[in-house]
Amino acid sequence: MSQLIEKCERLKEATLGLATASTKVKNQALILVSKALEENTPFILSENEKDIAVAREKGMKESLIDRLRLNHARMQGMIDAIETVVQLKDPIWQSDQVWTLENGLTINKMTVPLGVIGIIYESRPNVTVDAFSLALKSGNGILLRGSSSAIHSNLALVRVIRDGLAKSQISPEVVQLIEDLDRKVVGEMLRLNEYIDVIIPRGGAELIRFVVDNATVPTIETGTGNCHVYVDESAKLEAALDIVENAKVQRPGACNACETLLVHEKVASEFLPQVAARLKDKVELRGCSQTQQLIQVNPATESDWAEEFLDYILAIKIVNNMEEAMAHIRQYGTKHSEAIITENYTHANLFLRGVDAAAVYVNASTRFTDGGEFGFGGEMGISTQKIHARGPMGLKELVTIKYVMVGNGQIRE
Amino acid sequence: MSQLIEKCERLKEATLGLATASTKVKNQALILVSKALEENTPFILSENEKDIAVAREKGMKESLIDRLRLNHARMQGMIDAIETVVQLKDPIWQSDQVWTLENGLTINKMTVPLGVIGIIYESRPNVTVDAFSLALKSGNGILLRGSSSAIHSNLALVRVIRDGLAKSQISPEVVQLIEDLDRKVVGEMLRLNEYIDVIIPRGGAELIRFVVDNATVPTIETGTGNCHVYVDESAKLEAALDIVENAKVQRPGACNACETLLVHEKVASEFLPQVAARLKDKVELRGCSQTQQLIQVNPATESDWAEEFLDYILAIKIVNNMEEAMAHIRQYGTKHSEAIITENYTHANLFLRGVDAAAVYVNASTRFTDGGEFGFGGEMGISTQKIHARGPMGLKELVTIKYVMVGNGQIRE
């Protein structure tokens, strides 16, 4: 039996008990874990230093090293996130649909855990703690496969989480970290339908493509966000400027950052110079031919419309009307987060109804598509597919249902 | 461009308009289709005769030919099912979750159509009409891939459906039938992520395996049901007998039929002779060694516990207690429909909570796990996976959501 299968066996077994654990027991376990993280912060930080040292040796970019780095503030952030999850309502064994058939058989649609969630992530070590705490509160076991660059940090975090659980009534086996860094293990994981109920890939486009192409386990795609802000003819330009800046600059590496700005031709000559002034020195602008006549920009190519820059780059296109903006979004968007800035009531409604995306905005920054902002206490990822969950996945998205049928001898006619 | 891609292009385009069609327009279209089916019944029945003739030539079993056969009563059944769907509440653009962030940004979780649903089915021609009507009411386009044995019937049904739509405000292009019977086309369909939002395979275990192994389009597995009835020590045996008979005999080819009977040892000597008497001449019984000592049965082998007979065969096992019954179900069940027959309150609750299946029953036949019985107006299939939907899939299961974000200039801090 491979090490992976052995872990999966223990995980599956332990998850059985977790499925029906009471809210109190789950919350006590989470609190014990948060205490363990607090007490073991020096150990975790020193293990994290090892990852940083390796990354330096390998010449990793400083911006990426910063993503990897843990410190006291970031540790506190993780601990606070667990406390938020403790406060949230238990999503398990809830129902909002009960009905009774003519023959007296009562049907009760109850929420139950998914079972075992597999997560493959390339992100910061805090994902380890977020994924664990959301999974535990929703009664799910979790199989973690983090990036090799964070292996020391993840090993330390999982060790401390399990130490915390050991003092609780929940088995430490409900959380397992894959330590084998061989890529082949990911391929194996993707086909463990017997052990894993859903796999969530959280990372770059290449990882997600690999998972979608190779998984037989049901998968929830996350991530890719080619998001647009469309500034309509009737927009309040001052607010539009703040929103464009925020959506582009506040955290350009996030999937909900704006990549292309679409501007109605009637306001372009007034608005675009303001954009150029506000973003100059911070953002590289790439414009369509009309834009090039109004402000100093690099020419945008066809591939710029399709690209998720995840960087300080903004593509700009002038459109004749809202319909053209919506058609552009339909052609190039990834159905993540799309915004219209307008004072026109009809346009707002048409955009909200007609644009197909996880989140559609009127007069706000696309940066709010986020589990923390939504009040979900973190997120397991942001779904960009349409089945099961769409947008930020919090506790409510980590459940399935069970029809509980209560009868007194009913048989089918 | 292949014929398949060409159909998909037209389907995707037409589905855009369907997504925001009003309930009235959708219902009018459904009524026009039901009228077209009524008026064209002679044509459909004569095309169906061609399938029957081919099936006879090929030596198809009479029971399978019966599944293929349409007649006036079955046509009326389809028409009635459409009328039920007309009566059901529109599942689109509904919300039961609206909240406002501290900064005033309002989040509204609205239901929207999935987009394009692909269905691959081996079942009776009525699936063509059921799948179409559920898809249309939920604002989804549908790509149908029926079995080659029903090709004349399906061509006729889709032609009549499209004729009906041609008189409505909905484009006939929202329903497309794949006419190419080459198996390779299914393989191609499974990877059309650009055109298809979800694929539902509805058929035998082999088809479902093929789809799961090869699809990159998100898939909802359906079907396999190795269902159990457990007769507890405290069961009312008369009711138990009726339920076992109903669950096994009423339609043994259905996925919600009972395949294995589990009996508490304390009631086995009283109950099993009654089972044998009731089912004799109708059902082949295969029992464990203890069962063999009580009634005349063939010996059950290990593989019998795992098999979905879909036939007049019942495996029987005597267990020491409910825990053993639950462990057996955990080991061999397919998480479809599981029943306990008991008068013991605690046992009922433990079984309902502890057995992991789409539907768990106390004191009723497993045969109720069915969209029609649930009041869903038919079903797109019965999901046996945990993501997106579980159990019978009706209108509510054919939607995804969109977060509608209404702001007045909010940016992220």
Task: Tell me how many domains chain A contains.
Answer: 2
Q: A209 CA to chain B: closest CA distance, Å?
A: 9
Phi-psi category of A391—alpha, beta or left, where left has phi over 0 and alpha has psi -120 to 50?
A: left
Task: Kindly state whether residues B205 and B238 are assigned to the same domain.
Answer: no
Q: Which residues sit opposite A258 in a β-bridge?
A: A227
- Rounded distance between C-alpha atoms, residue B47 and residue B160, angstroms: 12
> Which residue of A lies nearest to B356 if distances are taken between CA atoms?
A402
Handedness of CA B160, B166, B169, B175 (dihedral sign): positive
Residue ranges making up the domain that contains A301: 227-372
CB contact under 8 A, A390 and B402: yes
Mark the ranges of chain A whose per-residue pLDDT is less than 70.
none
**Under-50 pLDDT residues of chain B:** none
DSSP B255-307: TTSEEEEEEEHHHHHHHHHHHHHHHTTT-EEEE-HHHHHHS--EEPPHHHHH-
Say if residue B259 is in the same domain as residue B155: no
Tell me the CATH number at A236: 3.40.309.10
Judging contacts by C-beta atoms under 8 Å, the chain A residues touching residue B245 are: 411
Of A355, A360, A362, A402, which to mutate for an interface test with B (greatest number of B Cβ within 10 Å)?
Answer: A402
CATH number at residue B80: 3.40.605.10
What pLDDT, on the 0 to 100 scale, is given for residue A157?
98
Residues of B in contact with A20 (CB under 8 A): 353-354
Residue A383 located in a structural domain: no
A347 vs B contacts (CB less than 8 Å): none
Please check whether residues B13 and B29 belong to one and the same domain: yes
Residue A265 carries which side chain, given as an amino acid letter?
A: E
Identify which of A243, A246, A409 has the shortest CB distance to residue B363.
A409
Clarify whether residues A112 and A245 are in a common domain.
no
Q: Are residues A102 and A159 in the same domain?
A: yes
pLDDT at B124: 85
- For residues B34 and B120, membership in a common domain is answered with yes
Closest CA to B174 of B136, B125, B201: B136
The 10 Å Cβ neighbour count of residue A16 is: 15
My answer on whether B287 and B204 are in the same domain is no
Are B288 and B195 contained in the same domain? no
Residue A237 backbone phi and psi in degrees, to 5: -70, -30
Residues A193, A246 share a domain: no
Supply the ipTM of this predicted assembly: 0.95
Residue A8 near residue A139 (C-beta atoms within 8 A): no
Task: Please check whether residues A215 and A346 belong to one and the same domain.
Answer: no
What pLDDT sits at residue B378?
87
Q: Is B91 within a domain? A: yes
Q: Mean pLDDT of all residues in chain B?
A: 96
Contact pairs from chain A to chain B, CB under 8 Å = 191
